[in-house]
Amino acid sequence: MPAKKSTRPAARELLFGNLWEFDPAPESAPAFIAPRYGLFINGKFTAPKSKKTFDSISPRNEEKLSEISLAGPADVDAAYQAAAKAFESWSRLPGTERAKYLFRIARLLQDRAREFAVAETLDGGKPIKESRDFDVPMAAAHFFYHAGWADKLSYVTPGRTLAPLGVIGQVIPWNFPLLMLAWKLAPALATGNTVVLKPAETTSITALKFASILQDAGLPPGVVNIVTGAGETGSAVVNHPLAAKIAFTGSTAVGKAIQRTLAGTGKRLTLELGGKAANIVFEDAPIDQAVEGIINGIFFNQGHVCCAGSRLLVQESIAEKVLSKLKIRLKTLRTGDPLDKNTDIGAINSKAQLDRISELVASGVADGADLYQPTCDLPKKGFYFPPTLFSNVTQSHRVAREEIFGPVLSILTFRTPEEAVEKANNTHYGLSAGVWTDKGSRILKLSTELKAGVVWANTFNKFDPTSPFGGYKESGFGREGGKQGLLDYATLI
């Protein structure tokens, strides 16, 4: 006769209550967000000539945070004129002097790290533990790293000299607003270029706060200009005749449109676009570590990550085990107020993005994949989506092919390493991939066979300013970080 199942709570539950419940721990530091921001042109905040503004709201609770200036073509032109003038002296400054500014910027950002982390979380919706422990320190690290290069450019390509290109137009997305700004500005300034930068419409605040750091660092006027607005402002930045190069991070659709309009203009271009990364788990992998890597790979920053491990390819022999462990782990993830220090999954960046995620998840159900979502008590106001798994996914399902850019994992299986590589590469994208296995030789083999700019082994989502990052195929071209990133902002003479 089977043993009768006890209905009494386990001893540890009696002692500690539900172990996964945490008391609320809201971050209380002030973000110092101004009620309105001008455009940052020629070292000063100025009212837009367009006379237009738009609201920045917090996806956390839909409350208005600030009024942002909308840059029209005349504003973008003023920014380019200032950058072109500043280029004459900034490009001639000795590297040792440029380095001093970059070091100063990095240190000032570190001094104000907590304030920037809170502002980033309020504006973009990411959990405070991520903005505090990843976005802001990593942004400072990029300035420190490139400050180190500014006076050593002759060592990048021995025997040749690196010369700056001129004024760089930069357009960035909303998923890592401050960090993408750092990825773009630091190498451009280190190599002696000047910049006109446009942040994304929904996340302009930390870029504008950063402008005050540039003022405090005494950066010469016009070296960095920040113009805020939506796609039309981005288009004016991309198409301005004074731009020597365009550096764009965003969607593949917009990246393609930019490439078409720049064809034949002689402007340099780098594109960091979307992704649909395969995270491949072999049966000899350390399973529990792999489960943590899968969770981090897809739920970091609500899955708003271009290199997110959004397609799990798991070897058939361990697929059931991995799926059941993932379901248990999902129940422990806390989704909710991003300002709470315990939160793992914060707010979706915008209503538009929430609608897109919901539409793609509905397509997964309609296509016949099996949906799993733990029960979550989501906040009533704001934009939230529960962590989601799809199993029994096939290659033809939209959730296996399209970038969802949300907390949604699609699980497929494979039998042989050859099948894993074939399925992993069966995508238009090629930004990143992950391999989990005990065999070093297999890692090396797959790293050459996977058509992805970055291949992580027994880890995922690891970044470092010294390591170049960028894509293959429709994930774009050009590299950010490392020596390769410097070369994309310079010409060899």
- Contacts of residue 91, defined as CB under 8 A and 6 or more positions apart, other chains included, come to 164, 192, 193, 194
Residue 63 is among the residues annotated as catalytic for this protein: no
Nearer to Mg ion, 43 or 338 (CB): 338
**Are 246 and 172 contacting, i.e. CB atoms less than 8 angstroms apart?**
no
Residue span binding ligand NAP (CB under 6 A) among the ranges 155-163, 207-215, 248-256, 327-335: 248-256
Q: Catalytic residue at 272?
A: yes
Binding partner of residue 200 among Mg ion, ligand NAP, none, CB cut-off 5 to 8 Å per kind: ligand NAP
Judged by CB under 6 A, does residue 254 bind ligand NAP?
Answer: yes
Stretch that binds ligand NAP, among 103-111, 156-164, 230-238, 433-441 (CB under 6 A): 230-238
Which of 177, 275, 309, 382 forms a contact with ligand NAP (CB under 6 A)? 275
Binding flag, residue 167, ligand NAP (CB under 6 A): no
Q: Does 231 bind ligand NAP (CB under 6 A)?
A: yes
Q: Is 235 in the site for ligand NAP (CB under 6 A)?
A: yes
DSSP-derived secondary structure letter, 340: B
Number of residues written out for the chain: 493
Structural element, H or E, at residue 242? none
The residues in 171-210 that bind ligand NAP, with binding defined as CB under 6 A, are: 171-175, 198, 200-201
Number of residues engaging ligand NAP in binding (CB under 6 A): 29
Between 428 and 445, whose beta carbon lies closer to ligand NAP? 428
Site string for Mg ion, 174-193 (x = CB under 5 A): --------------------
Least distance from C-beta 478 to ligand NAP, angstroms? 10
Q: Within 300-359, which residues bind ligand NAP (CB under 6 A)?
A: 306
State the minimum distance, in angstroms, from the CB of residue 262 to ligand NAP: 11
Measured in whole angstroms, how far is the alpha carbon of residue 8 from the centre of its chain?
46
C-alpha distances (whole Å) from 151 to each of 143, 166, 487 are 14, 18, 15
| Cβ nearer to Mg ion, comparing 123 with 344 | 123
**445 contacts 416 by C-beta, under 8 angstroms:** no
Nearest residue to 303 (alpha-carbon basis) of 356, 339, 255:
356
Nearest distance from C-beta of residue 56 to Mg ion, angstroms: 4
Strands 44-46, 311-315: pairing is unpaired
Please name the amino acid found at residue 209. K
Whether the CB-CB separation of 400 and 412 falls below 8 Å is answered with yes
Among positions 177, 274, 382, 478, the unique one binding ligand NAP when judged by CB under 6 A: 274
| Contact criterion met (CB below 8 Å) for 444 and 289 | no
Cβ-proximal residue to Mg ion, closest one: 123
Does the footprint of Mg ion cover residue 56 (CB under 5 A)? yes
Rounded Cα–Cα distance for residues 164 and 491 (Å): 6
Give the shortest CB-127-to-ligand NAP separation in angstroms: 17
Distance CA 476, CA 431 (A): 8
Out of 27, 77, 120, 123, which residue is the one contacting Mg ion (CB under 5 A)?
123
Which range touches Mg ion (CB under 5 A), out of 55-63, 211-219, 275-283, 449-457? 55-63
How many degrees, rounded to 5, is the angle at CA 144 between CA 31 and CA 133?
A: 45
| Count of Cβ atoms closer than 10 Å to residue 237 Cβ | 24
**Count of residues of this chain found to bind Mg ion when the rule CB under 5 A is applied:** 3
Which of Mg ion, ligand NAP, none sits in contact with 56, Cβ below 5 to 8 A by type? Mg ion
Q: Which of 300, 410, 404 has the alpha carbon at shortest distance from 346?
A: 300
State how beta strands 278-281 and 432-436 pair.
Answer: parallel
Residue window 378-417: x/- pattern of binding to ligand NAP, with contact defined by CB under 6 A:
-------------------------x-x------------
Among 135, 272, 344, 402, interactor with ligand NAP by CB under 6 A: 272
How is residue 390 written in tokens?
A: 């799809």
Q: Strand, coil or helix: what is 69?
A: strand
Q: Which residues contact 314 (CB under 8 A, 6 or more apart)?
A: 280, 281, 322, 323, 411, 412, 413, 414
The nearer residue to ligand NAP, 290 or 450, going by C-beta atoms, is 450
Tokens of 471: 């894509």
| Candidate list 193, 202, 225, 315; residue touching Mg ion; CB under 5 A | 202
Is residue 347 within 8 A of residue 59, CB to CB? The reply is yes
Catalytic annotation, residues: 272, 306
Interface residue list for ligand NAP (CB under 6 A): 171-175, 198, 200-201, 230-231, 234-235, 238, 249-251, 254, 257-258, 272-275, 306, 403, 405, 431, 471, 476
